[in-house]
Amino acid sequence: MRRNGRLALICLLPFLLAACNPKEEPGKYQVMAKVNGKEITVPEVNQYIDQMKSYRGSKTQIRRNAVNAVIDQHLLIAAAKNEGLDKNPVVMQMLLLSQKQALIKAYLDEQFKTLPPPSSAEISGYYQNHPLLFADRTLYVVNYYDIEADIEQQQKLLSQLEASNNSTEFFNALSHANITYDQRQTVKIPEDMSDIELKALAKMPIDGALVVSQTRKDMELLLLISKIPAPIPLNRAQLKITALLNAEEQARAKEAIIQKLRAHAKIQYLDQ
């Protein structure tokens, strides 16, 4: 019973539409639809499903929606070709770029297969060295203020902000000064912030403020409203850390590959 259950579970995965058909002959693909005589096969539909970010509905519904989406792609591509857009220099350049990127990705993916996975010690070390992402992870509730003011007004406002006892006092004064501003609140998470921004917020006191950007006509202020502890223990962080370490290792490997290829290539700079 357990064996049958596992097989059923595997076959329910939408991107394995063809894999669960033992009668299918190698090299021959089931045709799922035709568009003006052009066949749409299982691998093409599988490829589309692989790129989907979310799945809704039953296996049959997901498959049907994917087939319809691929049909729409064929119709739009045919319409573009009928108007000669595939011969447009800009479009041709974009297609060439896509082809280049696909080839580069395929080559690098092949090279990365030999990279060893990170060890337990490396994962633990990364966890210990990045407390703001894991052990001391915190969510930051902030208000952004987009303020319309010229340089002179901005300098005056910043001086008032520094002298204010709290943000409420400052923004009450801002309102009375008839200066236009918009306010929006959001929750910032460590994973979406740069290292500099994360460290700045971690050190900032509640009700602290900083200037995000300034122009001659306006400025954007960030005000820290609250901090919400949200630590992630090591046992729940291992997959994420593994992915981060893999990405770092792949970046190093890519650079080494490029340097090796350059060393064996004849490169001439003709524009100097």
Least-confidence region, from 21-30, 155-164, 241-250:
21-30
Identify which has the larger pLDDT, 252 or 172: 252
The pTM score is 0.68
Distance CA 213, CA 154 (A): 11
Instruction: Provide the pLDDT for residue 1.
Output: 41
38 pLDDT more than 70: yes
Going by pLDDT thresholds of 50, 70 and 90, the confidence category of residue 115 is: very high
Instruction: Mark whether 168 and 251 lie in a shared domain.
Output: no
- Claim to verify: residue 12 and residue 67 sit in the same structural domain: yes
Residues 26 and 103 placed together within one structural domain of the fold: no
Least confidently predicted of 108-112, 149-153, 188-192, 227-231: 149-153
Measured CA to CA, the distance from residue 142 to residue 218 in angstroms comes to 19
**Mean predicted confidence (pLDDT) in 30-42:** 90
Q: What's the pLDDT score for residue 272?
A: 61
Residues 147 and 223 in one domain: yes
φ, ψ (nearest 5 deg) of residue 246: -60, -40
Contact 201, 193 (CB under 8 A): yes
Judgement on whether residues 177 and 150 belong to the same structural domain of the protein: yes
Q: Are residues 239 and 116 in the same domain?
A: yes
Alpha-carbon gap, residue 237 to 235, rounded angstroms: 6
- Provide φ and ψ at 143, rounded to 5°: -110, 135
**Same domain flag for 194 and 174:** yes
pLDDT at 22: 40
Considering the domain architecture, whether residues 121 and 253 belong to the same structural domain is answered as: yes
Same domain flag for 103 and 127: yes
Q: Specify the higher pLDDT residue, 101 or 19.
A: 101
Query: For the chain, where are the E strands, in sequence order?
Result: 31-35, 38-41, 138-148, 181-188, 209-214, 218-229
Query: Are residues 19 and 154 located together in one domain of the fold?
Result: no
253-269 pLDDT per residue, tens: 999 999 999 999 998 88
What is the percentage of the chain residues whose pLDDT exceeds 90? 60
Domain span at residue 218? 138-229
Q: Do 79 and 100 sit in the same domain of this protein?
A: no
Q: Is 253 helix (H, G, I), strand (E, B) or coil?
A: helix
In whole angstroms, what is the distance from residue 108 CA to residue 101 CA? Answer: 11
Q: What is the percent of the chain with per-residue pLDDT over 70, rounded to a whole number?
A: 89
The number of distinct structural domains making up the chain is 3
- Go through 85-103 and write b for each residue having 16 or more CB atoms within 10 A of its CB, e for each that does not: eeeeeeeeeeeeeeeeeee
**Which tens digit of pLDDT belongs to each residue from 46-97?**
988 888 877 778 888 888 999 999 999 999 999 999 999 999 999 999 999 9
